[in-house]
Structure 1
Amino acid sequence: MSVEDVPPRNVWDVLRNDGEAVLVDVRTDAEWNFVGLADLGDAGKQPVLIPWQVYPSMQVNGAFADHLRKAGLTPLNKLYFICRSGARSLAAAQAAQAAGFTHAFNVADGFEGPPDADGHRGTVAGWKAEGLPWRQR
């Protein structure tokens, strides 16, 4: 299986219209706290927060699939994985598929996307640049 990249606006539409769709944010605590989170209130949901890598060592979270299950997620859920730019979330979605979560997708360009010409993120592509709802934690 391969993981499909889904544009952020399409993910937002699915989250609002599909009760089985879940956004799994795989960034670190520091990113959730200082950069912000997708605000899914209008969809009647909250993002599921499970780090793919554990800060500060940045080792891959060996219990990632177990954490998905403990969060109440099942292979019936459509899981949309998001990170800063789409790289960690792709790896997390691949691991989820390998663990039996067949409906695993990657949010293209992640929460902040690539840096702009001045080195700032959140303006070129990704959840924030698309003007989708988000908030500071």
Structure 2
Amino acid sequence: MSYAGDLTPQQAWELLTTDERAVLVDVRTDGEWQQIGVPDADALGGRAAFVEWVQAPSGRQNPLFLTQLAEAGLVPGDERPVVFLCRSGVRSIAAAQAATAAGLGPAYNVLEGFEGGIGPDGQRGHEGWRAAGLPWRQK
């Protein structure tokens, strides 16, 4: 594994609330933040960043991803835990791998993401950050 590991939403929340150096990075798109909601950074003392992994509508990787992480205060070698979150826990793996390769972290992926995979009813939201009852809000 080329990043520190996977965390359930509850484990991610525990790390974020017990380690004051840990930061949450939501790597979804701006459209997802606006339409679906975001983790409530106020509950974390503001220790959250919103940095797109891919850009909409092209779906191409954000070429400024590492630069934007640095602008959010994440620098190589500071050993600050970074918890990456996306919609369902796929893009956040790639983000955690890229961060680790750049010397950031330990970097973690949140399993199930913010709203999880598609359930038997064809909808998301049955698992993930929101379904676990963790703090979130509309952006």
Q: TM-score, normalised by structure 1?
A: 0.93
After superposition, what is the alpha-carbon deviation per residue over 1:66-96, rounded to whole angstroms, capped at 9, x for unaligned?
Answer: 1111111124210000000011010011011
After superposition, what is the alpha-carbon deviation per residue over 1:93-130, rounded to whole angstroms, capped at 9, x for unaligned?
Answer: 1011111114110001100011111111111x210111
Q: What does 1:41-60 align with in structure 2 at a 5 Å threshold?
A: 41-60=42-61
Q: Which amino acid counterpart does residue 128 of structure 1 have in structure 2?
A: R
Equivalent residue in structure 2 for 1:132, among 122, 131, 134: 134
Equivalent residue in structure 1 for 2:97, among 77, 94, 98: 94
Aligned residues: 136
Change in 2 beyond 3 A, CA 1:25/1:121: same
Question: Which contiguous aligned blocks of 4+ residues in structure 1 show a shift greater than 3 angstroms?
Answer: none
Q: What does 1:1-137 align with in structure 2 at a 5 Å threshold?
A: 2-3=2-3, 4-75=5-76, 76-123=79-126, 125-137=127-139
Gaps of 5+ in 1: none
After TM superposition, the structure 1 stretch with the greater mean CA deviation from structure 2, 64-73 or 87-96, is 64-73
Q: How far, CA to CA, are the matches of 1:81 and 1:31 in structure 2?
A: 15
SS of the aligned residue for 1:5 comes to strand
Task: Tell me the C-alpha RMSD between the 2 structures.
Answer: 1.2
SS of the aligned residue for 2:118 comes to coil
Cα contact 1:39–1:46 (8 A) shared by 2? no
Shift of 1:58: 1.2
Identity %: 49
Q: How far, CA to CA, are the matches of 1:42 and 1:69 in structure 2?
A: 22
SS of the aligned residue for 2:109 comes to strand
Q: How far, CA to CA, are the matches of 1:120 and 1:78 in structure 2?
A: 32
Change in 2 beyond 3 A, CA 1:49/1:129: same
SS of the aligned residue for 2:82 comes to strand
